[in-house]
Amino acid sequence: LTARLIEDGLRQRSLNAAEELMEQLPAAVRVRASGEEDWRSVAITQVRAGDEVELPSGSAAAVDGVVISGVSLVDEALLTGESRAVPKQAGDAILAGSMNRQSPLIVRATQTGAGTRIAQMVELMQHALASKPRSAQLADIAAQWFTLGLLAVAALTVLLWWWLDSSRIVPTLVAVLVVSCPCALSLAVPAALAASTAQLSRHGVLLARGHALDRAPQVDLWLFDKTGTLTTAEPVVSAVRLLDPSYSREQVLALARALEQGVQHPLARAFMASAAQSDAVETVQDLRAVPHGGMQGVWQGQTLRLGHAAFSGVEQAQPPEASDIPLTRLGLSLGGRALAVFDIAETLRPGAQEALQSLQAAGAEVAVLSGDAVRTVAAWAARLGVARAEGGLSPEDKLERVRQWRAQGRVVAMVGDGVNDAPVLAAADLSVSFAGAAPIARAGADVILHHPDMRALPRLVATGRRTVGVMRQNLIWAVVYNLLAIPLAVAGFITPVWAAVGMSTSSLLVVLNAARLARRERVAPTH
């Protein structure tokens, strides 16, 4: 019973992080429909997508949504594994369960109830714990055959002691039945799986299917999509060239942000992402978008423009020379006077380089498969130190590559995030996607990363390796124990009382060994 209690505790810890967040969601929130003036208090179940919801300081967000007013710091640690509070402002996404640590925010709900990220996390974790990996299924089959074999041994024991000493039949039979421990076989794998699931979930790694921990250490070929996987889907301001010495880098960026504030175009979000929490926001009047040109407004009585060369009047904002890594170049001018040139490019996902290096150091091969231009893919692969890279591939091409490698006996893992990655994710031995990926990509993934940092992949492999090791230790112990204890019981050397002690101790040792996997320290260095 103690062993079962510990095992149940391990399983519960696998869900605790998400369930604690669900419990922290407020029972009621203040909302108003879009366009209304008056706020009203309603139950969380009555909030609908499109409603504007108040998020007071010190409270948990009740819905997934987008900030429409306010600036604050939000703690998403239990959702994504990110330990630091994340700055949020107008246009940024908010996840249900994240804690507002600073100033009040107004959020427009995009997902409520079962559609929120946290509700999906709970469902995925429950599914992962309910689905058994192949090793667990084999252990259950072994336990079933073990039980049948044990009954046969018990029958032979009765016949043996009927012939030797009939007065010892009952205590010897009881000892044989009690000392045997099929439950240690059945506990050996699921207890380790539950403990590792709990450990990984605290770092934003969610197992959608139980076999992922078995498979991750076996992978010898990791395949990565490029756009949205190795590189972020959102561009960033990669370079700022000042053309007027009377303006600083911070000033021209502030002017650019003033023009792009509230604009949902990816280039606009690149400028907003460059803002620090303390940066002041400039005020621009008569703000408007000029089709095929850029953004225009009036600042300090002069026309402020941000856009391509012909529109902004900044000659240096001509498109850059042919480059393997594409850039978008924009000019900023004030009253016809050139102020700055901005180069905007996609950037590496956090931890991508370290993750690929760690996987290669562990003995796996890494390759990039992408539909992007061949030269672009080759340039990014060279930057990452990846020798094998193919660009210009269709989803069918990627699928064919995976099938070829698997036919050669390779164990293939695919990491992707787009709709076009869904077929190859389904075909790979192990598939990994991101919480922000296309729904069809998430649905086909064995592992979901809720943190943008890709160093979670080496953590997954290291945890899988430890888990498989603990499973193996538990199974060896269960087999050795039974091979030693049952013959001794048949021979009459173990009494029923000591048989009970041995059986209970065996189960307890198996579960305690698995519990080591749930310790809170880091599994392995991330680089």
Nearest Cα residue to 464 out of 185, 106, 216: 216
Say if residues 343 and 238 touch (Cβ distance below 8 Å): yes
Tokens of 420: 């076009």
Spatial distance between the Cα atoms of 473 and 458, rounded to a whole number of angstroms:
22
Contacts of 257 (CB under 8 A, 6+ apart): 271, 272, 274, 275, 279, 281, 282
Query: Diameter of the chain by CA atoms?
Result: 112
Spatial distance between the Cα atoms of 281 and 304, rounded to a whole number of angstroms:
15
Determine whether 165 is an active site residue: no
Strand order across the 28-32 sheet: 40-43, 28-32, 52-55, 105-111, 64-69, 93-94
Identify the active-site residue in 225, 372, 417, 446: 225
- Residues 415, 421, 422, 428, Cα dihedral to 10°: -50
* CA triple 60-62-64, angle to 5 deg: 110
Radius of gyration of the chain (CA): 30
Q: Where are the beta strands (DSSP E) in 105-145?
A: 105-111
Say if residues 277 and 73 touch (Cβ distance below 8 Å): yes
CA-CA distances (angstroms) from residue 212 to 413, 448, 475?
Answer: 10, 11, 19
Tokens of 78: 């239990």
Q: Where are the beta strands (DSSP E) in 177-336?
A: 205-207, 221-224, 236-242, 285-290, 294-299, 302-307, 328-334
Tokens of 412: 């293939």
DSSP 167-210: GGHHHHHHHHHHH--HHHHHHHHHHHHHHHHHHHHTTTEEESST
Tokens of 231: 């590189």
From first CA to last CA, the distance across the chain in angstroms is 41
Angle between helices 456-490 and 169-179 (to 10 degrees): 170
Say if residues 298 and 311 touch (Cβ distance below 8 Å): no
Tokens of 502: 């041995």
- Residues 66, 69, 73, 75, Cα dihedral to 10°: -30
Q: What residues are annotated to the active site?
A: 225
